[in-house]
Amino acid sequence: MSKNLKIYSISYAFIVTAIVFGFSSATTNLAFAQGATESDSSISEEVSKDPITLIKEIRNLLTQVSTAYGNQNYVLAEELATTAYLDHYEFLEAPLHEKNPTLMEATEILLREDLKNAIENKSGSTEVQQLIRTINNNLDKAEALF
3-state class (DSSP) for residue 2: coil
Same domain, 140 and 110: yes
| pLDDT for res 17 | 43
DSSP three-state, residue 123: coil
Q: Do both 58 and 126 map to the same domain? A: yes
Give the separation between CA 54 and CA 28, rounded to whole angstroms: 26
pLDDT value for 28: 37
Total domains in the chain come to 2
Is 134 in the same domain as 63? yes
Q: pLDDT (tens digit, 0 to 9) for every residue of the chain, 146 residues total?
A: 555 444 444 444 444 444 444 443 343 333 333 344 333 443 444 445 799 999 999 999 999 999 999 999 999 999 999 999 999 999 999 999 999 999 999 999 999 999 999 999 999 999 999 999 999 999 999 999 99
pTM for the structure as a whole: 0.68
Q: What is the dihedral of CA 20, 46, 87, 103, to 10 degrees?
A: 130
- pLDDT at position 10: 47
What is residue 75's predicted lDDT score, i.e. its pLDDT?
A: 98
The contacts of residue 144 (CB under 8 Å, 6+ apart) are none
Concatenated DSSP letters of 20-36:
HHHHHHHHHHHHHHTT-
My answer on whether 93 and 64 are in the same domain is: yes
The reply to whether 50 and 66 lie within a common domain is yes
Compute the distance between CA of residue 93 and CA of residue 58 in angstroms, rounded to an integer: 12
Together in a domain, 101 and 119: yes
Radius of gyration of the chain from its Cα atoms, rounded to whole angstroms: 22
> Do 57 and 32 share a domain, yes or no?
no
Residues 136 and 105 in one domain: yes
Quick one: 64 and 127 in the same domain? yes
Q: Residues 10, 73: one domain?
A: no
Give yes or no: residues 23 and 66 share one domain.
no
Whether residue 131 is found in the same domain as residue 77: yes
* Residue 6 φ/ψ, nearest 5 degrees: -65, -45
What's the CATH number where 122 sits?
1.20.120.660
Range of the domain at 133: 44-145
pLDDT number for residue 43: 42
